[in-house]
Amino acid sequence: MKLALSLATQSPPKPTNYRVGAVVVEVASNEILATGYTLELPGNTHAEQCCFEKLAERYGVPASRLGEVLPDEVSLYTTVEPCSQRLSGNLPCVERILAIGDKIKTVYVGVQEPDKFVSGNSSRQKLKDAGIAFVHVAGLEKDILEVATAGHEKSA
């Protein structure tokens, strides 16, 4: 999670999004397969989306076919809970995770998504319903939220 947090600091601070970092790891070897952070790639890209796009390029397949080529068990570490809705019209990150199929077994999350942009994030329930473990990694919440909300107007 500390690596994901360090990646999030590379995202440009903006008032309209959270700065998030994500890491995809093969469980058997503990090998980092991909890293990503908010707005790393062109477009209004989220951290998880950047990971999956890089993996698609690495394996030479569309992101929609990652489930066919990824190792049998991978985990996703993300500083902020994957989004369940995108105001931009892009595919939500939870849908990208679910599209990969049964390869992602666990999603490790630093903090739940605050309700600032979209309220009622349903990612945790969608992942659980699909048999994907949702694990809160405690201890870095203050640091994660400080990084995630850089560029936001602070309330008094």
Catalytically annotated residues: 48
| DSSP string for residues in 42-97 | TTT--HHHHHHHHHHHHHTS-GGGGGGTS-S-EEEEEEE---S--TTSSPPHHHHH
Q: What does each C-alpha distance from 28 to 134, 142, 151 come to in angstroms?
A: 19, 31, 38
Please give the Cα distance from 135 to 131 (Å, whole number).
13
21 beta partners = 37
Coil, strand or helix at 120? coil
Residue with tokens 């809160």: 136
Tokens for 16, please give them.
Answer: 């309209």
Half-sphere CA count of 40, side-chain side, radius 13 A: 22
